[in-house]
Structure 1
């Protein structure tokens, strides 16, 4: 129900109405048109468009040119309270992970990468670019840097399976912790193509530094996650005063 003399903006009330309506729908189901919402609630189509645009930006709805507006696929949630691999995250949610290796090479480290991995500038590192998929849907674009000195027999096949399994089971090294930073951005042309997004779509930029139990960093990763399919969840506890 829309209350027109409420202090709550009408477009926001309509967003809440649509969220309730789609609870009984499945991903991919169509919703009513702007005209139908306008007539049903006796409000302007501009107000309806604002509400729908906001829900599209949230990743709750998706527009398809010439077809209408549909319920979007739910976003994958990743808690920030533990260190897990992409494959582990996807499997825990009943999704099938897949990795497409875009580039795998050994290069001398530049000053920036060397500093992040605590090695000398010029020491060799693996540079691995991967497209991460879940149920064959592109989710993230990753570029990883790994010290050659720590894993001299690393191969594309190992990376394609599970790097963390290789480190823990084959190298018998304990993975301790990671530091991760997140910021919002807009996709660039090549990123948009690989992630199947429109140019300028919202994405999450993530940098992660992962460490062994000895305190040595074994991985520096720059990732671009689809903003419409992925969200991070933080469980926060109030600090003791």
Structure 2
């Protein structure tokens, strides 16, 4: 039932009704939802409210739309869980979960560092930095859009082939540099048009924005990374002791 006098928005209530049907398997992946008009008539609400509920569920990954055909129940895949203890690469994380890691390189070039990027890497403004943008994949499904900034004077010899494999493995095994620690900031956001295109989600879908600074044991910055993770496929876990 929808409670029209409730402080909870009507579109949210309708969304919860549909989600309950999905989670109880009353509605199954691939099933077609009734038209917006039918929901509007059933619950005596506006079609705009129904459309808002549908859009919210599309952004959360419960539904997907097919142009000219309608709205369908999406195939829900389990989220990948990453513990926030320990410093690992994306490649190492995926392999530890039995998933095939992959990357699709969309940008690889050396650019002059902006004042902001230079400050993150501890270098002079306009100094040369690699700007490496990749779509990170797990079993060929897009998980994150990641942009790395690395000083080209500090880490030399990077190629597209290297960054398509494991960047950390190259730095540690080939350059014999020991990555020691990182600081990471996580916040919620919604997908931009570019993020949505690369991650195969709807614009406005929830994403997790992550900024990471990685350092050697002596405190030398190795990289500055900005990533957008799909919130419908990724979650983070932390163990806390009192």
Same fold per superposition (TM over 0.5): yes
1:131 to 128, 135, 138: 135
1:200 to 191, 204, 223: 204
C-alpha distance in 2, partners of 1:164/1:220?
13
Where does structure 1 lack aligned partners over 5 or more consecutive residues?
none
Q: CA RMSD in A?
A: 3.6
Report if the CA contact (8 A) 2:212-2:224 is conserved: yes
C-alpha distance in 1, partners of 2:145/2:106?
10
Q: Which residue of 1 aligns with 2:160?
A: 156
Q: Which residue of 2 aligns with 1:105?
A: 109
Q: Which residue of 2 aligns with 1:76?
A: 80
Alpha-carbon deviations, 1:145-186, whole Å to 9, x = none?
Answer: 111233211111111110011112111222112111122222
Report if the CA contact (8 A) 1:124-1:148 is conserved: yes
Number of aligned pairs?
236
Q: Summarize the Cα distance change of 1:19–1:197 in structure 2 as closer, same or farther, 3 Å threshold.
A: closer
Report if the CA contact (8 A) 2:112-2:129 is conserved: yes
C-alpha distance in 1, partners of 2:99/2:17?
30
C-alpha distance in 2, partners of 1:27/1:133?
26
Report if the CA contact (8 A) 1:26-1:71 is conserved: no
C-alpha distance in 1, partners of 2:140/2:26?
23
TM-score by length of 1: 0.75
**How much has 1:233 moved relative to structure 2?**
1.9
